[in-house]
A and B are shown apart, each in its own frame.
Chain A
């Protein structure tokens, strides 16, 4: 399996979340992209807008919280 190109994808694999599980969390938070588009974001085939990237980060961070970890993924506003 190739090395993840994106920190979000790396986090997804760490959490053992399927693409569709991550998509559902992202969609529930207000994301409008399809699961295929989310997959393309994660693999670097599409560039996610900051809003979409943040929603994916929130979805992953929420999962990290559920399993007792901190929020390791930064949001767009955090990176100045």
Chain B
């Protein structure tokens, strides 16, 4: 099914097709993307920087999509995840810019302290530090997004599942495999750091 023979409100139209329609300057396509994902984007932004800031960020995220749909890749696994990541990044930037209260900024800029069980301490330490960012980006998009929403934004697996419109079981699988992947990356990073002649 293509956008030429359906309305953008048709639920059969994929998000990717809607983004293509946005690139063709279709207001109804942007309206449909906002209908599908606006509330989730607002929720993430509000959690980090409050209601009034969230309103502005939501506008910014969706107007960015309108003005530069080609910049919205599937690098985070879905358009929804891309929108959420952008809202999070903007909210954090906004907090830094306005110099939010130390307590609020700390709560938002660092992971919320969700505990990992068993052998997860190394991953947890990495997640609590800035080291995690470049490593996370090496994980598959879906795992990256699940870990980011859980350990950086502070959602539970059930909340992440609702935000991403996936089952909780799937999110838990993504978290598990993502954390295992993170462990592999950490070990590799340590080996490279310990090596006297790191590979070029």
Contact = CB atoms under 8 A, between A and B. Distances in A.
Contact of B28 (A18, A27, A28): A18
A6 interface: no
B62 A27 contact: yes
Contacts of B27: 18, 20-21, 23-24
Contacts of B55: 30, 32
Contact of A35 (B35, B42, B59, B63): B35
A65 interface: no
A27 B55 CA distance: 11
Contacts of B66: 24
Interface string A20-43: 110110011010101110000000
A20 B63 contact: no
A25 to B, nearest CB: 9
Interface string B31-42: 110110010001
B31 A24 contact: yes
Q: Is the interface of A mostly helix, strand, loop or mixed?
A: helix
Interface residues of B, number: 17
B28 A35 contact: yes
A52 to B, nearest CB: 13
Contact of A20 (B28, B42, B59, B62): B28
A32 B34 CA distance: 10
B58 A32 contact: yes
10 contacts: A20-B28, A23-B27, A27-B31, A27-B34, A30-B55, A30-B59, A32-B55, A32-B58, A34-B35, A35-B31
Given A20-B27, A30-B59, A35-B35, 17 more contacts: A18-B27, A18-B28, A20-B8, A20-B31, A23-B27, A23-B31, A24-B30, A24-B66, A27-B31, A27-B34, A27-B59, A28-B63, A34-B31, A34-B38, A35-B28, A35-B32, A36-B35
